[in-house]
Structure 1
Amino acid sequence: MLAVTAADHAAPGPRPEGPVAVLANPSAGRGRHRGLLPGVLERLTRVDRPVRLLAAETADRAEQVCRAAVADGIAALVTVGGDGTVHRGLQAVAGTTVPFGVVSTGTGNDFALDTGLPADPLVAAEAVAGALRAGRTHPVDLARMTGPAGATRWYATVLAAGFDAIVNERANRMRYPRGPRRYDLAILVELARLRPRRYTLRLDGEPLELDAVLVAVGNCASYGGGMRICPDADQTDGLLDVVVGGRFDRRTLVRVKPSIYRGTHVRHPLVSSHRARTVELAAEGITTYADGERALDLPLTVTAVPGALRLLR
């Protein structure tokens, strides 16, 4: 895990004549859009600027090359991949004036879904190119999380800090089976171990202690490929939506889970919703996941940062 500090964002502004940097993940979406990258790059070249494809063998390296590109004075950063690729690019452009474009080729693409970006990769590339030509960006909020030692990460969609994060952590430790079945097996294992945990929250300074199996802090509404866990979240309102699933037992949690795709789970009596600019969150033994990527251990603080991203659309 690579920590980012405020100093990393003391970068120069974009150079309009500079290159368009592209961070591409060919394995996103299980590689089903791998062959579209040349077409995406061709559409981006229509803005009459050089296009620079960034080389990165690992996720940490992806963040490093993105930050280096921003420091070099690029005209924009474009990610081609899923929410994980977006997450890596955000660490370089969050809090700067460098425009950010998204071409979604992942499995879930929740950021694109919630911000109204085109689902088709080639259409999305044309939209990014058009926005660049017109000099058009839209301000979008981001969430900034900070750990007790000062480590900082940014995210765009949802921070998972409960059962969903625990499942991800187990799935990532498993060597077998591969593919989606590993995640399914991790769910079964963690359902058998399900127990409420004691959480301590402070919402804009107001303390709240409760037992829960799920806590999500949303800048956007969706995670996990269209699960509307924070259905009322708005990435332009300067606020975070906090959804808490209380003392669920296994049977009730399984029964409620399908309603998350519709966002109607918030009507369940064991679910509570809150809204705040700053969320302090603590619990024992939880490693959080943000934009589907492994993030910081609890405790941490999440802050809504209005207009922290200049989105090309």
Structure 2
Amino acid sequence: MNRRWTARLALVAGTAALVVLLLFAGLSSILLVAVGIVGVALAAAGIWWMLTHTGWIRLLAAVLTAAAPLVVLVLYTAAGLLWVVLLSIALWALAVSAGRAALVEDSAGMPERSVSPPERPFLIMNPRSGGGKVEKFHLVEKATALGVRVAVLDPDHPQDVAELARQAVREGADLLGVAGGDGTQALVAGVAAEHGLPFVVISAGTRNHFAMDLGLDRQDPAACLEALTDGVELRVDLGRICTDGPGRRSEERVFVNNASFGVYAAVVRSPAYRDDKAHTILTMLPDLLTHHSGARLRVRSESVNLDAPQAVLVSNNPYEKGDSAGLGRRGRLDSGRLGVLGIGVGNAAEATELLLRGRQGRGLTAASAREVVIDADVPVIPAGVDGESLMLPTPVRCRLDAGALRVRVPRNRPGVPHVKPPLDWGRVRRLALAMGRAAAGRDAG
């Protein structure tokens, strides 16, 4: 289906969603919509209270979060209009999906070029990453069979992975790679960029955000080894954190995903975070959000200035526009821009607005920049850099090194990302109607 007909489908489905409500519910449709909005607002408020309180208040908030949508469904059912609402929601979901599809550009992917297989590849593997994926998928044996030199880290004796990579370069390695978490990926990627060598990502970590945004198979890390035999090369950006204040030795660290400050960085710093991330977040968030006693942050860039945000996320390329928390994916890794997300909510109303409106909510600031400076009223602040906890002296300068990394990936990848444009109904309507008028003119001629 071409873009013209996809845009038309979006308009028809959106119109049908409204018509169904009006035709079968009449004036009650206004009440139906109002009840639905109230239900969503109550559920969102319940989520906020769960995050900002403990004990019996959190318990009551959990009940509210679960009960609000159930009560709405009961009211719809009692009125005999549940099927009307469900049909309208389904049509609206189709309209949104078709509208986004109509606006997707035809060439959204990152440019790639064919390359010859490496002659002396070197991989570092962390046997503990991802709950033991290196052993589970027999990555050492499979890589060795391809002629790869493999260094397996000893979990009981921490090693300097960047130095391991540099030593491999001195010994003639013509490709570097990592089977491990994003933090280890970043350290070795920095060495690869420093020497102009290609870099291979093996998705053996827990979350594998960098692998996801490269379109790699996160369910089967062994599939990533195909980059060594039938690979293509991408040029992607690297984020860099610099701490080079007056009277201080300049230090720099690479990040492939993001650097976080404020609330999230404090959670990452907790000793319990690695063993039980979800429980640690739920335990710490109430005090961090409502009784924030950490540093007062200040953010400066050419596009945005923030004073006292609760959380700041600086990412290597912006996250997709529908992602208001930096938890999703990036459509591109070669835009030459950092993504900046600042969150500052102080009550349930602001949190609800943020949940309902996303990037239009008052509690969220989203921007992009070439350089971002995070300062504070204290000399040292916690930071989470690709999930690794650090203490960094202020000010912290984040910048982007455009096209610095040569990434070798398999030619065929299951999750090649596509940029999802923001839904603009005006553009959808113009696309459908303008093309329709042009087609009618051709037919008449």
Q: Deviations over 1:243-275 (max 9, x none)?
A: 1112x126468758878xxxx732312211121
8 Å contact 1:241–1:276 — kept in the other structure?
yes
Partner secondary structure for residue 95 of structure 1: helix
Partner secondary structure for residue 284 of structure 2: helix
Query: Does residue 1:283 correspond to 2:376, yes or no?
Result: yes
2:335 aligns to what?
237
- Identity score, percent: 23
Query: Does residue 1:27 correspond to 2:128, yes or no?
Result: yes
Q: Hey, what's the Cα distance between the residues in 2 that align with 1:109 and 1:79?
A: 12
Query: Does residue 1:228 correspond to 2:326, yes or no?
Result: yes
Structure 1 unaligned regions, length at least 5? 1-14
Q: CA deviation at 1:288?
A: 1.3
Select the structure that is richer in helix: 2
TM-score by length of structure 1 reads 0.76
Q: Hey, what's the Cα distance between the residues in 1 that align with 2:354 and 2:130?
A: 23
Select the structure that is richer in strand: 1
Residue type of the alignment partner of 1:35: E
Residue type of the alignment partner of 1:279: V
Of 51-60 and 233-242, the range deviating more from structure 2: 51-60
Query: Does residue 1:293 correspond to 2:388, yes or no?
Result: yes
8 Å contact 2:217–2:223 — kept in the other structure?
yes
Q: CA deviation at 1:293?
A: 1.1
Q: CA RMSD in A?
A: 3.2
Q: CA deviation at 1:37?
A: 5.0
1:81 aligns to what?
180
Q: Deviations over 1:76-116 (max 9, x none)?
A: 11211221221232232233321111111222111111121
Residue type of the alignment partner of 1:97: G
Residue type of the alignment partner of 1:187: L
8 Å contact 2:178–2:185 — kept in the other structure?
yes
1:139 aligns to what?
235
Q: Deviations over 1:185-232 (max 9, x none)?
A: 33344345336964333324x67242211111111456xxx9635866
Q: Judging changes above 3 Å, is the alpha-carbon distance between structure 1 residues 36 and 46 closer, same or farther for their aligned structure 2 residues?
A: same
Q: Hey, what's the Cα distance between the residues in 1 that align with 2:295 and 2:151?
A: 44
Q: Hey, what's the Cα distance between the residues in 1 that align with 2:354 and 2:218?
A: 25
Q: Judging changes above 3 Å, is the alpha-carbon distance between structure 1 residues 255 and 42 closer, same or farther for their aligned structure 2 residues?
A: farther
Q: Hey, what's the Cα distance between the residues in 1 that align with 2:221 and 2:330?
A: 30
8 Å contact 2:238–2:401 — kept in the other structure?
yes
Q: Judging changes above 3 Å, is the alpha-carbon distance between structure 1 residues 284 and 125 closer, same or farther for their aligned structure 2 residues?
A: same
Aligned counterpart in structure 2 of residue 108 of structure 1, from 192, 207, 216: 207
Aligned counterpart in structure 2 of residue 17 of structure 1, from 110, 115, 119: 119
Q: Hey, what's the Cα distance between the residues in 1 that align with 2:387 and 2:206?
A: 11
Q: Hey, what's the Cα distance between the residues in 1 that align with 2:297 and 2:287?
A: 22
Pick the structure with greater CA Rg.
2
Q: CA deviation at 1:63?
A: 2.4
Q: Hey, what's the Cα distance between the residues in 1 that align with 2:347 and 2:171?
A: 51
